[in-house]
Amino acid sequence: MSHPALASGRTAIVTGGASGIGRAAAAALAARGMALAVIDVPGPTLDAAVAELAAAGAKVLALPLDVSDRSALEAASARIAAELPPATVVMNNAGRSEASSCLGDPGAFDRILATNMWGVIHGTQVFAPLLLAHGEPGVIVNTGSKQGITTPPGNPAYNVSKSAVKTFTEALAHELRNREGCRVSAHLLIPGWVHTGLTARQGQPKPDGAWTPEQTVDFFLESLARGDFYILCPDNQTPRALDEKRMAWAVGDIIENRPALSRWHADWAQPFADHLAKG
């Protein structure tokens, strides 16, 4: 069983589609008979991914561009409309990360937000009209992060970007479901620990605790078939129950008026441990 938007003979648009979760999603959608518009920065990684997908029989349009460039996305949208079947899937998955600090280099915020936040906003606003035009079932899937929910210390620019993706996608889902006659829905993909280029150095073996991109995509597609909005992925180290407790504690900081990020505050280490130990 799969979501009706994942229809053979229709097109899936995948940003960040040259590697990691995006690459695995593109392959899975192609296996369902979908044509692909694969968007990623120019380079050999994109070339290799597109060649491999085409060799497996997929109809693929490679679109080398930076998702922070709205005009480039608009030009891509025109090509997709002209060269591929009607689009029913948009997956705004392109992402980046680098070291950042609240009081450090502002350029880190500029670069991360340009891709992780503006790439999602641009991708949604530019490609949504392709899905809305024909009236068929469609999905817009935006890749968030658990770091956008629990916001651990260490990389505030990345956390801010993924918090923004969560907020934007929730608002998008509300707008779409209240749009008369709309058959397009929005979904937030929240990966667990996935062995990709963002989480591991090139060539490193997969840690036992991490999932592969393919495992993540399998879980994502099963969740999408159920109609889940929050696609909260576990991994081999963190089950859903642990994610739920961590997220409940994060919201509890506000409700209980605890210090910000109390989970990492020395005075709250034992209460947090007690919280995790509860059944």
Active site residues: 158
Residue with tokens 């937000």: 113
Contact yes or no for 94/67 (Cβ under 8 A): yes
Please state, as a whole number, how many other Cβ atoms lie within 10 Å of the Cβ of residue 51.
12
d(CA 36, CA 80): 9
Q: What angle do CA 205, 157, 262 make, to 5 degrees?
A: 90
Residue 190 β-bridge partners: 232
Residue whose C-alpha is closest to residue 18's, from 64, 68, 79: 64
Which residue from 239, 124, 264 is spatially nearest to 188, judged by alpha carbons? 124
Beta bridge partners of 185: 139
**How far apart (Å, rounded) are the C-alpha atoms in residues 142 and 120?**
7
Helix (H, G, I), strand (E, B) or coil at 255: helix
Question: Residue 70 half-sphere exposure, CB side, CA atoms within 13 Å?
Answer: 9
**Block residue for tokens 């296996």:** 31
Q: Which two tokens stand for residue 242?
A: 């642990």
Chain length of the chain: 279
CA distances to 16, 45, 124, 141, 192 from 127, rounded to whole Å, are 15, 24, 6, 12, 27
